[in-house]
């Protein structure tokens, strides 16, 4: 080969090499960046070219896909009883992305998850159109309906969480007011965008897209006294629920001249733990928190899950119990006020741990992930999270909570032939307690065989109710009762 031809060959070889390097750079190094580029419509068109997998409750899909009539996107999401299930499913929108289970398990639902590689390869070989896999939840449809209907009937705002104490399965997760994700599942500027804007907090003060079960923290009020009672028992401050406590009346908070008052003229002086929980004595539980001190109270709260985010797999906000508080601040925090704040999920975890003889199971709401032909991809196994109570102390606390429902402030939660334990709470709200308080109820049900199929937390915030009519026993306990009954009935 003469010299000019050799130069041309080398130059052409370098061009080919540069082309190969550039091609590999784009296909591998830059692949994720190009895929995420908002100007790359191929990816999003391909995303909606196939039917999305379903979210399953009790063996039935609560989601679906429908062919669109216009535009580049072939399929869009549909929802059955969308407003009821929105706190679980979240939304999948061509215009606004996805959230909650629709977002967390998006790879499975679209069929693009790496764990579906074999299924995708098989579909390519057989020429079958790609389909998404399914997300099988732990939810109980009857319990969810009871929770949502109860909140809707009550009006105002609120949330319900129900757990299976022995496993941590989430049986109900309701938030009110809610929204229907179907209304903005497409990408029409005239309909979907308009529906989305109407739901935003700046345009709708009720904030229907806020998941109050997982993403709102409230002062738990007297329901937190269950945690304080657990701390008293676990730290040996009191060894039973019948011995008298060292609780003068009035009890002046340390470092102040201010007594920690009780609601009305109730028998709280030196009351036993059982009677103090039955009557919801602020003075008794405030003094317990002060006597134990911030460190011990914080340690016990952490055992129940406070101060940590929960992933179920959707992220739930961390509940709060503060550090570095003085005795009086610790006293107020120990009755669920001051800086103490909890999600409804957190307070359901408190009731669940007591019902499960002191063992707290990690909460979760996805039982199984499936491929498009329902082959199992991943199964969630129950996992112990912590042990806030010894079995003996848990049984003492069960006796206390059952007395609250039998003879105390929680009688509206009684269920015939079922043992129910509970605790009411009416938490102060607003500057100087100026706003309507929050009404709480936490509970569990126990069957004749000793098993506990469900623990529930309910919170109600109702700005329109008459202040004197707001109580955990009056507003929240009936909803918890209906949810517990729904779970019990579904197991028969």
Residue 242 and residue 272 in contact, taking contact as beta carbons nearer than 8 Å: yes
Dihedral Cα 474, 283, 304, 436, nearest 10 deg: 40
Tokens found for residue 418: 């079922």
Which contiguous run of DSSP H or E holds residue 230? helix 225-234
Ranges of beta strands (E only) in 164-229 are: 170-176
Q: Are the C-beta atoms of residues 386 and 360 closer than 8 Å to each other? A: yes
Cα–Cα distance, 114 to 337 (Å, whole number) = 47
Encoded tokens for 17: 């090499």
CB of 401 closer than 8 Å to CB of 274: no
Task: Map residue 83 onto helix, strand or coil.
Answer: helix
Q: Which of 93, 98, 222, 319 is catalytic?
A: 222
Using CA atoms, how far apart are residues 146 and 140, in angstroms rounded to an integer? 10
Helix (H) / strand (E) element for 72: namely none
Residues 6 or more apart from 323 whose CB is under 8 A from it?
A: 294, 298
Joined together, the tokens standing for residue 243 give 């011995």
Q: Do the beta carbons of residue 298 and residue 321 sit within 8 Å?
A: yes
Residue with tokens 């939660």, as numbered in its chain: 413
Could you give the 3-state DSSP secondary structure of residue 77? strand
Active site residue 372: no
What is residue 37's three-state secondary structure? Answer: coil
Residues 6+ apart with CB under 8 A from 86: 79, 175, 178, 179, 180, 181
The H-assigned helical ranges of 56-209 are 82-89, 100-104, 106-110, 117-126, 141-154, 192-199
Tell me the catalytic residues.
222
């Amino acid at each position: 080969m003469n010299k000019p031809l050799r130069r041309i060959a080398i130059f052409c070889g370098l061009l080919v090499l540069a082309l190969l390097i550039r091609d590999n750079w784009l296909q591998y190094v830059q692949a994720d960046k190009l895929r995420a580029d908002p100007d790359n419509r191929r990816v999003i068109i391909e995303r909606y070219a196939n039917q999305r997998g379903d979210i399953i409750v009790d063996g039935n899909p609560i989601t679906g896909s429908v062919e669109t009539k216009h535009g580049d996107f072939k399929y869009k999401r549909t929802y059955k009883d969308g407003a009821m299930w929105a706190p679980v499913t979240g939304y999948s929108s061509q215009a606004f992305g996805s959230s909650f289970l629709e977002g967390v398990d998006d790879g499975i639902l679209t069929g693009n998850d790496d764990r579906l590689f074999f299924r995708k390869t098989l579909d390519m070989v057989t020429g079958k159109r790609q389909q998404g896999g399914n997300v099988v939840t732990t939810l109980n449809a009857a319990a969810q309906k009871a929770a949502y209907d109860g909140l809707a009937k009550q009006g105002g705002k609120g949330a319900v969480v129900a757990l299976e104490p022995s496993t941590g399965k989430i049986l109900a997760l309701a938030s009110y007011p809610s929204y229907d994700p179907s209304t903005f599942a497409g990408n029409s500027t005239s309909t979907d965008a308009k529906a989305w804007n109407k739901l935003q907090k700046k345009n709708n003060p009720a904030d229907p897209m806020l998941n109050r079960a997982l993403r709102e923290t409230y002062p738990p009020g007297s329901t937190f006294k269950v945690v304080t009672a657990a701390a008293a028992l676990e730290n040996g401050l009191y060894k039973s629920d019948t011995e008298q406590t060292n609780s003068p009346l009035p009890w002046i908070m340390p470092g102040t001249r201010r007594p920690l008052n009780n609601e009305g003229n109730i028998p709280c002086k030196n009351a036993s733990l059982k009677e103090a929980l039955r009557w919801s004595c602020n003075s008794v539980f405030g003094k317990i928190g002060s006597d134990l001190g911030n460190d011990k109270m914080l340690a016990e709260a952490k055992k129940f899950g406070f101060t940590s985010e929960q992933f179920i797999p959707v992220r739930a906000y961390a509940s709060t119990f503060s550090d570095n508080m003085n005795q009086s601040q610790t006293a107020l925090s120990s009755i669920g006020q001051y800086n103490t704040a909890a999600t409804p999920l957190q307070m359901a975890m408190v009731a669940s741990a007591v019902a499960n003889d002191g063992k707290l199971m990690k909460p979760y709401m996805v039982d199984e992930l499936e491929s498009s032909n329902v082959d199992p991809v991943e199964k969630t196994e129950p996992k112990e999270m912590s042990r806030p109570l010894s079995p003996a102390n848990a049984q003492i606390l069960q006796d206390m909570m059952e007395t609250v429902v039998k003879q105390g402030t929680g009688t509206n939660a009684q269920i015939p032939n079922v043992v129910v334990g509970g605790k009411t709470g009416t938490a102060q709200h607003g500057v100087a307690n100026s706003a309507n308080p929050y009404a709480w109820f936490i509970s569990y049900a126990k069957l004749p065989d000793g098993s506990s199929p469900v623990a529930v937390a309910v919170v109600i915030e109702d700005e329109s109710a008459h202040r004197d009519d707001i109580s955990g026993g009056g507003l929240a306990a009936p909803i918890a009762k209906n949810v517990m009954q729904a779970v019990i009935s579904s197991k028969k």
